[in-house]
Amino acid sequence: MAIILGVDPGSRITGYGIIRAEGRHIEYIDSGCIRVGDKPMAQRLQSIFHSLATLIGEYRPEEFAIEQVFMARNPDSALKLGQARGAAIVSAANSGLAVHEYSARQVKQAVVGKGSADKSQVQHMVQALLSLSRKPQADAADALAIALCHAHMSQSVLKVAASGGKVRSGRVRQQ
């Protein structure tokens, strides 16, 4: 059984989602958003770092998953996103957590079944997969989707390891 913290980093809003995964059984624990507003960038990064450290201390996750950087149209936005990711990653690393990174396409594929899914489809599937009474806020839904993606990927790796196979180019090869 593993508690997984998924993070959708942002320079103004960082989503987080916490689930418990045991085999195919996945249970919702918590989710929300770290809103840092219009503070100077250094203070926003500090808020992200400390807020995640507080969540890690409270929920004691064994796994940490975060979305990889993507190339945004605006280079300044991409740099700020990278800085927010860095603050989140250092918070996890300081707590002794290994960091697992997934592309947005991998996350959407794992949760929706289509790598080009839009935000509303991700929200809908997160709500359905976790049996939530309402759709989570978009950034929290993305973070939960990242945690779900990690749970699915971890299960796949365990299955391959148990079968004695190797993964190569997306296929399982028996030894």
- Residue ranges of the annotated binding site are 8, 67, 139
Token pair for residue 98?
């290994």
- C-alpha–C-alpha distance, residues 35 and 93, integer Å: 22
- C-alpha–C-alpha distance, residues 78 and 71, integer Å: 6
In the prediction, which pLDDT does 85 show? 96
Q: What is the pLDDT of residues 127-153, one digit of tens each?
A: 999 999 999 999 999 999 999 999 999
Active site residue 67: yes
Q: What is the pLDDT of residues 38-65, one digit of tens each?
A: 999 999 999 999 999 999 999 999 999 9
Q: Which residues contact 159 (CB under 8 A, 6 or more apart)?
A: none
Catalytic residue of the set 58, 62, 76, 139: 139
Phi, psi of 13 (to 5 degrees): -135, 120
128, amino acid identity: A
Over residues 155-173, mean pLDDT = 50
In the prediction, which pLDDT does 42 show? 97
- Residue ranges of the annotated binding site for Mg(2+) are 8, 67, 139
Q: Which sequence spans correspond to the domains of the chain?
A: 2-161
Catalytic residue of the set 22, 27, 30, 67: 67
Catalytic residue of the set 8, 38, 76, 142: 8
Active site residue 8: yes
The CATH number given to 2-161 is 3.30.420.10
Cut 0.85: pTM above it: yes
In the prediction, which pLDDT does 156 show? 56
Q: Which residues contact 15 (CB under 8 A, 6 or more apart)?
A: 7, 8, 31, 32, 33, 34, 137, 138, 139, 140, 141, 142, 143
